[in-house]
Chains A and B, each alone.
Chain A
């Protein structure tokens, strides 16, 4: 079952010029309705391929490294950069490795600089995730999961707001109340493995019934099997409840920009709640209102 590195195919043996550096041929057979703004090759981007390390090829060898880095810095802070002398380059051009502070900056830089002219040359910009350390990768994945989970929460909250506004145009106070409630829920103690209320505090958008007993049971297992180190790591990834770091509640308003999300250090999110969440039919508005009133009345249990 495992891919043994012994009888590996050519993709494992290739030297530093990796397949993902190559510019693929642009797809010409795409029907109009699927055409993008620019011609693109057929390629799938995952978090593995993206990296805050970029390689820039095709830089004219006329001593424009400072200008190149300045251009890169338009998209975000550059941590490090160096020429990649060992990398095969076309005549009269140079290749550079540029490390951005943030993945989002690298993404923007790639989008805006790839296939663009620069001092008479044509730049080819690609991600070079092979330069990432284990720590880089771990952080990248964790950060991505946090962002996705937060985006999902925001969407839920937005939807809940919209539904509340749509069906009850006179009670705009309800929507505001729910905004205020949510940050307070963030302050709930995270050692509470049994409280079903805790689990659902962040999902006040979901009109859910309390879980059956076995659901809360599995949260209890969280602490029992793993060593301290893996617990913390999996804790921040998957279970905000066992994360022992108390964090101040910040208003997770839906207007938060993606760069704000990226900048956040490990926040207590509640991806842990997600496995328990199911798609259930909407409850009536009466129940919705009742629950909101109940939550508003609950004391802050820090």
Chain B
């Protein structure tokens, strides 16, 4: 595609691109679970540096990371989610993720048992917020989830969810979610009628 641009990059873009390509190839070819985890973690860490983002985009690593979100291996999910968190900071990567149904895949990660996975998912959702995607990102179910997180004992979760609620949601949305939560809580104590 636009490999010629990477190649002419003064920061060794050509070698960089080829190295990243080698990693992606190893990831796709290896049978070793351990190697897969290592390479995925490498790619996710490379995704932290903006110098690499274009190469990673061209190598379709956004899709690779998205694929990891539905893996059984929770390390792969965590590293993939971390990679997306890193890449989604950049507008073009963000758009690619949005185009590949990123919102629903990332939202599913909110129910992970892994702290880092959930935190990466929350930040990624914030990164993915654009005027067009905002209504999906602030769907009532997600806002309610964030509201619950904002009451968590875990300080990182609590604070990050608070940022989401304050920065991505309108006051009305939060108020609505609060009402819904209260409704659910009061219903819990009430026994259901026998014939319903």
The residue that B167 contacts in the complex, of A5, A9, A233, with Cβ under 8 A, is A233
The residue that A149 contacts in the complex, of B9, B91, B159, with Cβ under 8 A, is B91
Contact B86 A46 (CB under 8 A): yes
The residue that B115 contacts in the complex, of A19, A132, A275, A279, with Cβ under 8 A, is A19
**Given A29-B34, A151-B50, A155-B50: A44 and B79 interface contact (C-beta under 8 Å):** yes
The residue that A44 contacts in the complex, of B78, B126, B167, with Cβ under 8 A, is B78
Shortest distance from the beta carbon of A223 to any chain B beta carbon, whole Å? 10
In the bound complex, residues from chain A placing their C-beta under 8 Å from that of B111 are 1-3
Tell me the count of chain B residues lying within 8 A, CB to CB, of chain A: 78
Q: What is the chain B residue whose CB lies nearest that of A254?
A: B10
Contact B85 A30 (CB under 8 A): no
The residue that A1 contacts in the complex, of B54, B145, B162, with Cβ under 8 A, is B145
The residue that A230 contacts in the complex, of B119, B148, B167, with Cβ under 8 A, is B167
Give A237 to B168 CA distance when docked, in angstroms: 11
Give 1 or 0 for each of A40-69: 1 = CB within 8 Å of chain B CB.
001111111100000000000000000000
In the complex, whether A137 has a CB less than 8 A from a CB of chain B is: yes
Contact A5 B8 (CB under 8 A): no
Which of A85-93, A108-116, A140-148 faces chain B? A140-148
Give 1 or 0 for each of A231-243: 1 = CB within 8 Å of chain B CB.
0011001110000
The residue that A134 contacts in the complex, of B78, B94, B118, B163, with Cβ under 8 A, is B163
Give A43 to B9 CA distance when docked, in angstroms: 28
Q: How large, as a class, is the contact surface on chain A?
A: 35 or more
The residue that A47 contacts in the complex, of B5, B10, B85, B156, with Cβ under 8 A, is B85
In the bound complex, residues from chain B placing their C-beta under 8 Å from that of A47 are 85-86, 89, 123
In the bound complex, residues from chain B placing their C-beta under 8 Å from that of A29 are 34-35, 38
Shortest distance from the beta carbon of B7 to any chain A beta carbon, whole Å? 11
In the bound complex, residues from chain A placing their C-beta under 8 Å from that of B168 are 230, 234
Give A219 to B132 CA distance when docked, in angstroms: 10
Give A194 to B52 CA distance when docked, in angstroms: 33
Give A10 to B63 CA distance when docked, in angstroms: 31
Contact B113 A9 (CB under 8 A): yes
Give 1 or 0 for each of A118-134: 1 = CB within 8 Å of chain B CB.
00000000000110111
In the bound complex, residues from chain A placing their C-beta under 8 Å from that of B23 are 34
In the bound complex, residues from chain B placing their C-beta under 8 Å from that of A221 are 131
CB contact list, A15-30 vs B, under 8 A:
19-20, 27, 29-30
CB contact list, B1-47 vs A, under 8 A:
1-2, 5, 8-10, 22-23, 26, 34-35, 37-39, 41-42, 44-45
Give A49 to B156 CA distance when docked, in angstroms: 9
Contact B145 A2 (CB under 8 A): yes
In the bound complex, residues from chain A placing their C-beta under 8 Å from that of B86 are 46-47
Contact A134 B166 (CB under 8 A): yes
Shortest distance from the beta carbon of A120 to any chain B beta carbon, whole Å? 32
Q: Which residues of A contact B (CB under 8 A)?
A: 1-5, 8-9, 11-13, 19-20, 27, 29-31, 33-34, 42-49, 129-130, 132-134, 137-138, 141, 144-145, 147-149, 151-152, 155, 158-159, 162, 166, 218-219, 221-222, 225-227, 229-230, 233-234, 237-239, 271, 274-275, 277, 279
Additional pairs, 18, CB under 8 Å, beyond known A144-B89, A233-B167:
A1-B141, A2-B144, A5-B153, A12-B153, A29-B35, A44-B83, A46-B86, A46-B120, A48-B116, A129-B156, A133-B159, A137-B159, A138-B163, A148-B50, A159-B9, A275-B91, A275-B95, A279-B2
* 15 examples of A-B residue contacts, CB within 8 angstroms: A2-B144, A2-B145, A3-B118, A9-B113, A12-B154, A42-B37, A43-B41, A44-B116, A45-B48, A46-B120, A132-B159, A144-B89, A226-B170, A234-B168, A274-B95
